[in-house]
Amino acid sequence: DAGVTQSPTHLIKTRGQQVTLRCSPKSGHDTVSWYQQALGQGPQFIFQYYEEEERQRGNFPDRFSGHQFPNYSSELNVNALLLGDSALYLCASSLLGGSTQYFGPGTRLLVL
C-alpha cells in the first residue's frame, strides 16, 4: 500500500521565480493538506483541499495557491518566491471524515 508521495525531493530557485510542488495521497484518501516547516520549527498549515476545492486556509498570502485533481492528487504553487519561503513543504492526506493525517517525505525548497 503506497503511502503519501511528493515530488520533487529537492528544489533550488531564485527570488521572484515560481515553483510547483506535487503530492499523491495515500491510497483511499480523498483530502490533501499542505504544511510549511521552517528549520527547527513545527509545521504550519497552508491549506486543505477536498473535492477539488480549497476547504480551509491558514495564514499564508495569496502567493500560495493550490489545486486538487479528480484523482485526489494535489499541487502547491508559490509565486514571486522570497528568501523566507525556503522550507520543507509537507503534504498530508486523510479522509474528510477522519482526523488522522499521514505525511509524505516532503519537498525541500531553497530560495537563493
Partner 1 sequence: EDQVTQSPEALRLQEGESSSLNCSYTVSGLRGLFWYRQDPGKGPEFLFTLYSAGEEKEKERLKATLTKKESFLHITAPKPEDSATYLCAVQAETGNMLTFGGGTRLMVKP
Binding site for partner 1 (CB under 8 A): 4, 6, 31, 33, 35, 40-45, 48, 55-56, 58, 88, 90, 92, 94, 96, 99-106, 108
Q: How far is the CB of 16 from partner 1 (least distance, A)?
A: 27
Q: Is 85 helix (H, G, I), strand (E, B) or coil?
A: helix
Q: How far is the CB of 55 from partner 1 (least distance, A)?
A: 7
Q: Which is nearer to partner 1, 69 or 102 (CB)?
A: 102
DSSP alpha helix (H) spans, 27-111: none
**Cα→Cα distances 17→4, 45, 58, 59, 76, Å:** 27, 22, 22, 21, 14
